[in-house]
Amino acid sequence: MKLPLIKVENVKKVFSGNSVLDNISFEIVSGEIFGLIGASGSGKTTLLNTLVGVLQPDSGDVFFRDDNIVEANDNSRFRSVFENLNDVKKKFGFAAQVPSFYSKLTVFENLDYFGSLYNLSKEARLTNINTLLDLVELDNARNILAGNLSGGMQRRLDIACALIHDPMILILDEPTSDLDPVLAKHIWLLLQKINKRGTTIIVASHHFADIEEICSRIGIISNGKMVHVGTLHELTGILSKGQEIHIETYPGNYEKIMKCLEDPLILAKENRGNEFVIHTSKPDKVLEKVLKVLSQMDENLMDVNITKLSLSDVFSKVSKKK
Amino acid sequence: MKIGKVIKKNIKLLLRSRVSTLVLIFGPLLVILLVGFSFSTSTFNLNMGVFSGSYSELSNSLMEKLKSDNYGVTKYDTENMCIESVKEGQTHACVIFPPDLKIENQRTNTIKFFVDQSKINLVYLVMSSLEGSVGEKSTEISKDLTGKLVASLLNTKTKIDSSLPLISDIKTEDGLIVTAADNSINSLDSLDLGTGSKVAPDTRVGKVKNELDKLLSDSSKLVDDGLDIIPELEDWVESNGTAYLNDLEDKLNEINSTLKTKHNTTAKELTLLSQEINESFNNIYKKLDNAKNVNAAVLSKLNTIKDTAETLKQKSETVEKNLQDISADVSTVKVTDIENIVSPITTEINPIVKEQTNLGFLFPSLIVMLIMFIGLLLPSTLIIMEKNSKAYFRVFTTPTKNRLFVTATYLTCMILIFFQVMIILLVSQFFFKINFMNSFFMLFVALIIIMSFFILLGMLIGYIINTEEMAMLASVSVGTLFLLTSGIIFPLESMPLSIVEKARFNPVVLGSEVFKKSLLFGADFNSIKTSFGYLLLFSLVLIILILSVRKADKFQFLLKKPTRMKIKKDFLISQFDFGERKAKSLAEFIVSIQNLNEDKFQALLKQSCYSDWLLLAYNNRYLAKKTEAVKSKQEIVKILVEELKKISVKK
């Protein structure tokens, strides 16, 4: 099994008597994009801050793998984030929910400044800046004041700032929270590009569709608890009753149609007024049967749609379960 | 070098922020320029309103004096108009000259000044300037009058001195008069004007007449005898001739006749003579009587003259003595120089260093004051800018030590303030002739220490306070406190002793002292080491406080509620749509809630999003509290609609 890059073990954090992180444990594997979803106030940001050592947990610990340590025992290669903050800061890049840079400095100056705070040499800074500007497509904006950049550009600059020291892990908190879908798409594509360069990414977001698209694994956090961690497939498998077939007919006598549809492959049926939905793990076979029934009942098929259970659905289900 | 990058970044941020550049960089330069011109020896442009019921030569000359002192002078038709002009700010002061102002006995010349006391600084300036101008004229008049008095006095003395011999002469001559009077009295006394036993001239004339009668009778008898002899002689003559006898007889008869005629005539004339003599005697008696009377009167007068002369002599002696005393007194007046009489004591404030302009003496306090305000404002603003900057969080994620940022902030401010102060010093050197090159090293050390203290204090304020407004307010308040207890605005001596004692340790006082001694007196280190010591001690305390606060601040930032709140607020706002945009008002919030599907409503309810929105986005703690316990959409909508109605009714 691949050795994890980060191990979060039983992390607890309480603010003013409220448990913000409640015994959270999970692992991050090198090279993956790990998505963290949860409702607002569920503890995502607190968890991310804890990962980078900005927040010290009340109990539990966060470990990172130090590849410079060569030990027979794998566990010995992990070091506590909170005991090695300086090393952690060099290995982690963090892009907070609000872009964090100086709006009165140019793109280049911001990157150069933060690069210098990481003790990078001038040459290293220049190399990294050029690479990053190219990566985040801000090369043409290098001499523009950061405050004058568009929302998407600012977000890209923020990510570039987080990457200036070429960290092993990039942590992003709601990277597309205030962006329109087009710009958000750019950011997600950028993250994929960054990931392809070998950077492990941990991203918290409300944009479930994007998370489900780019993340290899997803953690669902709810009320400070990590309720599920796994791939999308694993999550949908655990939480859903298969796929959904959405059917719209005319004249639309859905109650009658649903009565006629009795099959062990059909897990559930729903009359939603303007359509009816069938839950099944074998949509092809069920759809054949549905079409037969419709033809017998003189119902004209207006629209049919087979959908997988989305991350949003999964999240809703998790919320409802609670 | 990392610190260099931080300093460079700080300077860039400050310079690129127009407001801070204007306020912190150019503001002080502008202030010093204005203050420099204000306190330089150049004249003020003050406008004077003047009024007089009747302008005299003197009032006109006073007005001319004001004009020559570069005052604008405007004549007004009435006193009220003149006073109103001050109220309306058209003039800085109103001068009311008494009608027909002139220097006369029994006349008080009061020139009234009306000034706007609300402009206290201007008032003192105007009063001082006016006192100067009018006082100068007044002194001029006083000198003139005194000159005349002194000249008269000296002239009098000269005349007295020249009169004293005359008085001596008068005394001598008076003595002579007395003697002469005595002699005259004696002479007059001895003068006999008595008529004695007076023999009537008739008697003497009668006697003469009797004698004449006797002479006549004797002559007649003699004639008769002759006649008698004649017969005998006839006989003889008959013998000798008668003709001769006849002739003799005729001659005797003729003699007799002549005698008789002569006798008659003489008797007559004697009678007349007697009468004339009598008359003459009578006249003489009368005159003698008169002369007696006159003599008596003259004697009396001579006695009076004598007495008067003696009195005069005594008085002359008194006058002589008095005049001698006056002369002696006048001689004792050693000061006869008019200048000295008018201003017996002249005050002269001599600078202990060569004077260039008024600014020169205020300059140290001014510079320290400026350093204080920039020193307090610049770092606090810089720190608040950093704290409120979006990049603040990122800085925490970098492997950079706390001390580095503190040091970088300190050095940034030090560089900027030093740069400003150097510009001010250079400007002062060239424009206001304040020489600082003579004691540059001490001045440099003094500047570093003074600036360090205020920068560190400003940094402490910046680290303690979280908003720019509050930091600015705190900086200005602290600065004002220092300023008020520094003696620059109010004299320290007028304050309670307890404050005066503490004010000695006021950094502005210490800084001004250090700066003054370095700049003006070229003092060595020994003379300012105590003030240096205090400032260094205070700075050290501030460094410890800053590091402690910074550490606590960093910890606070990590738990920082405002950021978390802001994130939460942003999230809350994003949850409630109103058409194309987010709900802002209560009505929009209600519509937004109504449009939520039940699932989302419940999901948001679980997270207390409704009460949180009302608290954080709508800023209504009361409604937030009221909606904390709601369970359904209907319930919350009802509460909010009721509130909305109340608001509508109020409006």
The 10s digit of each residue's pLDDT in B421-471 is 888 778 777 766 666 677 777 778 888 888 899 999 999 998 888 788 888
Q: How far is A290 from chain B (nearest CA, A)?
A: 30
Q: Measure the CA–CA gap between B321 and B315, rounded to whole angstroms.
A: 9
pLDDT band, very low/low/confident/very high, at B561 (cuts 50, 70, 90): very low
- For residue A104, give the nearest of B16, B399, B566 by CB distance: B16
Q: Measure the CA–CA gap between B216 and B435, rounded to whole angstroms.
A: 144
- Tell me what pLDDT residue B270 has: 76
> Does residue A64 contact residue A88 with C-beta atoms inside 8 Å?
yes
A268: pLDDT strictly greater than 70: yes
Other C-beta atoms lying within 10 Å of the C-beta of residue A90: 18
- Tell me what pLDDT residue B651 has: 54
Please tell me the number of Cα atoms within 13 Å of A217 on its side-chain side.
Answer: 15
- For residue A55, give the nearest of B6, B394, B558 by CB distance: B558
Give counts: helices (H), strands (E), chain A.
11, 14
A106: pLDDT strictly greater than 90: yes
What is chain A's mean pLDDT, rounded? 84
A301: pLDDT strictly greater than 80: yes
- For residue A97, give the nearest of B9, B567, B606 by CB distance: B567
- Tell me what pLDDT residue A109 has: 93
Q: How far is B404 from chain A (nearest CA, A)?
A: 10
Q: Kindly identify which residue of chain A lies nearest to residue B5, measuring between CA atoms.
A: A113
H-run or E-run covering B164: helix B120-190
Which residue, among A215, A211, A197, A50, has the nearest Cα to A135 in the 3D structure? Answer: A197
- Tell me what pLDDT residue B123 has: 62
A291: pLDDT strictly greater than 90: no
A82: pLDDT strictly greater than 70: yes
**Are B390 and A117 in contact (CB < 8 Å)?**
no
Q: Kindly identify which residue of chain A lies nearest to residue B14, measuring between CA atoms.
A: A104
% residues pLDDT > 90 (chain A):
13
Other C-beta atoms lying within 10 Å of the C-beta of residue B631: 9
> Does residue B638 contact residue B594 with C-beta atoms inside 8 Å?
no
Q: Kindly identify which residue of chain A lies nearest to residue B612, measuring between CA atoms.
A: A41
H-run or E-run covering A176: none
Judging contacts by C-beta atoms under 8 Å, the chain A residues touching residue B603 are 39, 319
- Chain A residues with CB under 8 Å of a chain B CB are 15, 39-41, 45, 49, 52, 54-55, 85-86, 89-90, 92-94, 96-105, 109-110, 112-114, 116-119, 145, 161-162, 177-178, 316, 319-320, 322
Stretch 46-105 of chain B: residues touching chain A, C-beta under 8 Å: none
What is chain B's mean pLDDT, rounded? 78
Q: Measure the CA–CA gap between A54 and B96, rounded to whole angstroms.
A: 76
**More confident site: B76 or B363:** B76
Question: Which structure tokens are listed for A305?
Answer: 């749609």
Q: Kindly identify which residue of chain A lies nearest to residue B394, measuring between CA atoms.
A: A100
Judging contacts by C-beta atoms under 8 Å, the chain B residues touching residue A102 are 9, 13, 389-391
**Are A100 and B13 in contact (CB < 8 Å)?**
no
Sign of the four-CA dihedral B343, B349, B354, B359: negative
**More confident site: B415 or A242:** B415
Q: How far is B410 from chain A (nearest CA, A)?
A: 18
Which range, A67-71, A157-161, A242-246, B589-593, is most confident? Answer: A157-161
Q: Measure the CA–CA gap between B537 and B41, rounded to whole angstroms.
A: 39
**More confident site: B26 or B294:** B294
Judging contacts by C-beta atoms under 8 Å, the chain A residues touching residue B567 are 45, 97-98
> Does residue B585 contact residue B591 with C-beta atoms inside 8 Å?
no
Q: Kindly identify which residue of chain A lies nearest to residue B6, measuring between CA atoms.
A: A113
- DSSP tag of B98: P
* Average pLDDT of span B19-41: 68
**Who contacts B35 (Cβ-Cβ below 8 Å, separation ≥6)?**
B359, B362, B366
Q: Kindly identify which residue of chain B lies nearest to residue A165, measuring between CA atoms.
A: B398
- DSSP tag of B26: I
- DSSP tag of A165: T
B378: pLDDT strictly greater than 60: yes
**Residue B68 vs residues B49, B59, B135, B480: alpha-carbon distances, Å:** 15, 14, 14, 39
A96: pLDDT strictly greater than 80: yes
Instruction: Please report where in the chains the tokens 């009537």 appear, as a residue.
Output: B200
Mean pLDDT is lowest, of A21-25, A78-82, B235-239, for B235-239
For B511-559, write each residue's pLDDT tens digit.
Answer: 887 777 777 666 677 777 888 888 889 989 988 888 888 777 655 555 4
**Who contacts B215 (Cβ-Cβ below 8 Å, separation ≥6)?**
B263
**Are A118 and B399 in contact (CB < 8 Å)?**
yes
**Residue B54 vs residues A203, B106, B112, B115: alpha-carbon distances, Å:** 93, 19, 15, 22
- Tell me what pLDDT residue A322 has: 53
pLDDT band, very low/low/confident/very high, at B400 (cuts 50, 70, 90): confident
Question: Which structure tokens are listed for A214?
Answer: 């780019």
Judging contacts by C-beta atoms under 8 Å, the chain B residues touching residue A111 are none
Which residue, among B337, B339, B321, has the nearest Cα to B329 in the 3D structure? Answer: B321
pLDDT band, very low/low/confident/very high, at A116 (cuts 50, 70, 90): very high
Sign of the four-CA dihedral B117, B122, B128, B131: negative
Is A59 in a helix, a strand, or coil? strand
Task: Report the first-to-last Cα separation within chain B, whole angstroms.
Answer: 62
Judging contacts by C-beta atoms under 8 Å, the chain A residues touching residue B9 are 102, 105, 109, 113
B404: pLDDT strictly greater than 80: yes
Q: Measure the CA–CA gap between B80 and B252, rounded to whole angstroms.
A: 132
> Does residue A31 contact residue A67 with C-beta atoms inside 8 Å?
no
H-run or E-run covering A217: strand A217-222
Mutate which: A116, A179, A313, vs B, most B CBs within 10 A: A116
Q: How far is B16 from chain A (nearest CA, A)?
A: 6
**Are B394 and A15 in contact (CB < 8 Å)?**
no
Mutate which: B394, B396, B568, vs A, most A CBs within 10 A: B394
Instruction: Please report where in the chains the tokens 């207890």 appear, as a residue.
Output: B485
Judging contacts by C-beta atoms under 8 Å, the chain B residues touching residue A100 are 390-394
**Who contacts B644 (Cβ-Cβ below 8 Å, separation ≥6)?**
B586, B587, B590
The verdict on B17 touching A (C-beta cutoff 8 Å) is: yes
Judging contacts by C-beta atoms under 8 Å, the chain B residues touching residue A112 are 5
Which residue, among A95, A204, A223, has the nearest Cα to B397 in the 3D structure? Answer: A95
- For residue B399, give the nearest of A45, A90, A94 by CB distance: A90
Query: Which pairing describes strands A78-80 and A225-230: parallel, antiparallel, or unpaired?
Result: unpaired
A108: pLDDT strictly greater than 90: yes
**More confident site: B194 or B556:** B194
Question: What is the ipTM for the molecules in this complex?
Answer: 0.76
For B565-611, write each residue's pLDDT tens digit.
Answer: 665 677 777 778 777 677 878 888 888 888 888 877 887 887 778 88
**Are B559 and A41 in contact (CB < 8 Å)?**
no
Question: Number of residue pairs across A and B with CB atoms under 8 Å?
Answer: 98
Amino acid at B194: G
Q: Measure the CA–CA gap between B151 and B588, rounded to whole angstroms.
A: 99
A43: pLDDT strictly greater than 70: yes
Judging contacts by C-beta atoms under 8 Å, the chain A residues touching residue B607 are 39-41
pTM attached to this predicted model: 0.59
For B58-80, write each residue's pLDDT tens digit.
Answer: 788 878 877 877 778 888 988 88
- Tell me what pLDDT residue B352 has: 47
Please tell me the number of Cα atoms within 13 Å of B438 on its side-chain side.
Answer: 13
Stretch 504-563 of chain B: residues touching chain A, C-beta under 8 Å: 558-559
Instruction: Please report where in the chains the tokens 């606060």 appear, as a residue.
Output: B549
Question: Which structure tokens are listed for B395?
Answer: 């800085």
- Tell me what pLDDT residue B200 has: 59
B19: pLDDT strictly greater than 80: no
**Are A55 and B12 in contact (CB < 8 Å)?**
no
Judging contacts by C-beta atoms under 8 Å, the chain B residues touching residue A320 are 599
- Tell me what pLDDT residue A200 has: 92
Torsion of CA B358, B361, B366, B367, to 10 degrees: 120
H-run or E-run covering B397: none
Stretch 394-453 of chain B: residues touching chain A, C-beta under 8 Å: 394-400
Judging contacts by C-beta atoms under 8 Å, the chain B residues touching residue A90 are 399
Is B260 in a helix, a strand, or coil? helix
- Tell me what pLDDT residue B439 has: 72
Q: How far is A294 from chain B (nearest CA, A)?
A: 31
